[in-house]
Chains A and B, each alone.
Chain A
């Protein structure tokens, strides 16, 4: 998996999960993979996002795993591919420019202070502990 890790301990780990890696997985496997990452405090970035049904399951499973003082849930933002012809920034980041890029950023709610989004930018402020 393409993965950017900062030096252990108090760093912030970002999991960039390619569409290929998600291919052939069931919705529950995808949800599990995302939440396992988030539980470890990672920021999970999905190259291809989730279907509405998978999003609905992600919300449902997230709710069942919220536990006061341990896990507050998730922040999630999706980034629809702009309709312009130019290869998208995130497409280039992932080394390709897929047809249906719906980049999705998911992280633990208690570590992401703001997850701002506009037409051309997703901005996350991540705290270290």
Chain B
């Protein structure tokens, strides 16, 4: 191999690396409380980096701060996409601390609701300024047509962000992926179970394709 071609090859390898490593796309994981956002973020992070992002819980508003996992490299068909995953607090228009008083004492419930409201405000801010793409996670056992979902999808569309809709919890008997596809026919819907790890191949393919 000539000196020049060799140089050119290594140069282009360097620039390839520079570009793929310099600008990982920041992908926000959004959705209503309890949809399985953190379970998904943890699964993606564990599959590709070995460690987790945050705590999962059956009690809504477990995530109360946006959390970022940087430089998650996902490999598909020999191609590597590098993304930052941002797990966000479930978005809502109301928080009532009394919803948590069955599970904890009043002080903790009040604190949880305070933190939750700050977290949702923060998540809305991230959505307006700091994300390059969105994974919108829905619990496919629930009715997808809620005001929060419609508003959030509208907000995401108005910012021209690429968005994938994840129909999570397909392991549940009441799950209906079609209900989600019918509610948001303008977007790609990917069925999965973040908890059981079902259909993760397609999940990674779609992430690579949409955000790569």
Contacts and interface: CB of A to CB of B under 8 A. Distances in A.
A78 interface: yes
Interface residues of B, number: 26
B113 interface: yes
Contacts of A76: 93, 147, 151
Interface residues of A, number: 24
A61 B120 CA distance: 10
Given A52-B151, A76-B147, A78-B150, A59 B110 contact: no
Contact of A59 (B91, B97, B114, B159): B91
Interface in B133-190: 147, 150-151, 154-155, 157-159
Contacts of B91: 59
A72 B125 CA distance: 20
Contacts of B128: 53, 56
A74 B97 contact: no
B150 to A, nearest CB: 7
Residue from A55, A57, A66, A109 whose CB has the most chain B CB atoms within 10 Å: A66
A73 interface: yes
A84 interface: no
Nearest to A61: B121
B88 to A, nearest CB: 13
Most chain-B Cβ atoms within 10 A of its Cβ — which of A56, A57, A60, A62? A56
A102 B125 CA distance: 24
Contacts of A64: 117-118, 121
A97 interface: no
B130 interface: no
Interface string A16-60: 000000000000000000000000000000000001110111011
Contacts, number: 75
B97 to A, nearest CB: 5
The dominant DSSP class at the B interface is helix
B127 interface: yes
B113 A68 contact: yes
A41 to B, nearest CB: 15
Nearest to A112: B94
Nearest to A72: B96
Nearest to A50: B151
A63 B120 contact: yes
Nearest to B96: A72
Contact of B151 (A55, A60, A73, A75): A55
B156 to A, nearest CB: 8
Contacts of B95: 63, 66, 72-73
A73 B94 contact: yes
A109 B93 contact: yes
B155 A55 contact: yes
28 contacts: A52-B158, A53-B158, A55-B155, A56-B124, A56-B127, A56-B128, A59-B93, A59-B120, A59-B121, A63-B117, A63-B124, A64-B118, A66-B94, A66-B113, A66-B117, A68-B97, A69-B97, A72-B94, A72-B96, A73-B94, A73-B95, A74-B94, A75-B93, A75-B94, A75-B147, A76-B147, A109-B93, A110-B96
